[in-house]
Amino acid sequence: MNDVRGEQGEGPGCSDAFHSGYVAICGYPNAGKSTLLNAILEQKLAIVTPKPQTTRHRTLGILTNERCQMIFIDTPGILDPRYDLQAAMMKQVGKSIADADVILYLADVRHPRLAPGVVVASRNKPTIILLNKADLLKRVEDALPIIEELRQQGEFVDFFAISALRGRGVHGMLGRVESLLPPGPHLYPADQLTEHPERFFVGELIREAIFDLFRQEVPYSTEVEVIEFRESEGKADHIEAIIYVESESQRGILIGKGGQAIKRLGSKARVSIEEFLSRPVFLGIKVKVMPNWRRDKRALRRFGY
C-alpha cells in the first residue's frame, strides 16, 4: 500500500544533532494501538486481542537509531470511566499525553472519531492522525475524504493511512515522527527496548490468554499478579501467578469442569511466555476471588494502578 498523505512531510532525518522524546500512542479502544507499538518495534511487546480495553497500563517501547531515540507509550483506549479501574486507566492516558513530545492518534478507518481531549492537545503538541486498518478499505484512496473531514476538526500536523497489522505505512510515519522530535540526548541505553521488567510482560501474556479464551465480563473482571518468577541454571524458569476474579461464579468459569479451562489457559499462556522469553518455563496458576477489586482503591494500588 502506498502512504496516503494529507501533507508533505519532511521525511526521515532530523538534523545533525541527536533528537529524542516521548511519543504517546492514543485512541479509542480497539483502534490498534498495541498492534502499532509491536509493528514499530518489529517485536511483540504489548498484548493484542480482538476485544476492547485490552491494555490497562501504559507500556513503553523504545526505538533508537543513529539519529534519534523515540520512546513510544502505548496507552489504554479512551473511554468514559464507569469504575475506579477505568478511571485509573484514563489517568494514564492523560499523563501519557501530558508527557509526550509528539502525539499519535489512531482511529479505525471504518469509523474514525476524534477524542475531544486529543483535539484540545493538538493545539499545543504536534499531533499526527493515523487512520488504521487501511487494509480493510477497498481502495487506499478512500481514506482521502476522511482525512479532509478530520483536518477541519483539530490542528493536526499530518495524516497517514496505515495498517498496523500488516506493517504498511509504518516506516513513512516514523520518518515524520523523527522530524518532530526536539534535540535531546539518549534517555535510555541504545539497546534498551522497554523499561518494564519481564515479570510485567508475563502477567500481561496471561491476561492476553484470558481475553482470548473467555467471554463477556470474565476478562474485564480479572487481574493477574505474578507472585514468583525464579530463574534457575539449567532448568525452566519457575513462574507462579494468581488470577483474581470478582466472584465465585467467575472462578468456576476460569477453572472449568474438572479443571479443563484453567489447563487450557495455562498451556496457552505458557507457550506465549516461552516465546517472549525465548526459554522454557514452568507456569503455575491459582484463581482467587477478590470481590469488587475494580472499585477498590487499595486493591488497584496493589495492582500498580
**By the criterion CB under 6 A, which residues form the site for ligand GTP?**
27, 29-35, 48-50, 52-55, 76-77, 132-133, 135-136, 163-165
Helix (H, G, I), strand (E, B) or coil at 243: strand
Among 20, 38, 55, 69, binds Mg ion (CB under 5 A): 55
Helix (H, G, I), strand (E, B) or coil at 267: helix
CB 140 to ligand GTP: min, Å: 12
Helix (H, G, I), strand (E, B) or coil at 163: strand
Nearer to ligand GTP, 19 or 57 (CB): 57
Tell me the C-alpha distance between 283 and 95, whole Å.
34
Helix (H, G, I), strand (E, B) or coil at 213: helix
CB 276 to ligand GTP: min, Å: 16
Contacted entry of ligand GTP, Mg ion, none for residue 31, CB cut-off 5 to 8 Å set by kind: ligand GTP
Q: Which residues pair with 72 in a beta bridge?
A: 23, 61
Placement of cell 465480563 in the chain: 217
Q: Which range touches Mg ion (CB under 5 A), out of 31-39, 107-115, 208-216, 290-298?
A: 31-39
Nearer to ligand GTP, 26 or 226 (CB): 26
Nearer to Mg ion, 19 or 57 (CB): 57
CB 184 to ligand GTP: min, Å: 27
CB 37 to ligand GTP: min, Å: 8
CB 96 to ligand GTP: min, Å: 13
Neighbours of 2 (CB within 10 A): 10
34 touching Mg ion, by CB under 5 A: yes
Nearer to ligand GTP, 68 or 210 (CB): 210
Q: Which residue is nearest to ligand GTP (CB)?
A: 77
Judged on CB neighbours under 10 Å (0-12, 13-18, 19+), 152 is: exposed
CB 190 to ligand GTP: min, Å: 27
Compute, in degrees rounded to 10, the torsion defined by CA atoms 127, 128, 132, 134: 160
Q: Which residues contact 219 (CB under 8 A, 6 or more apart)?
A: 51, 207, 210, 211
Nearer to ligand GTP, 35 or 179 (CB): 35
The H-or-E segment that residue 88 falls in is helix 84-99
* Residues making contact with Mg ion (CB under 5 A): 33-34, 54-55
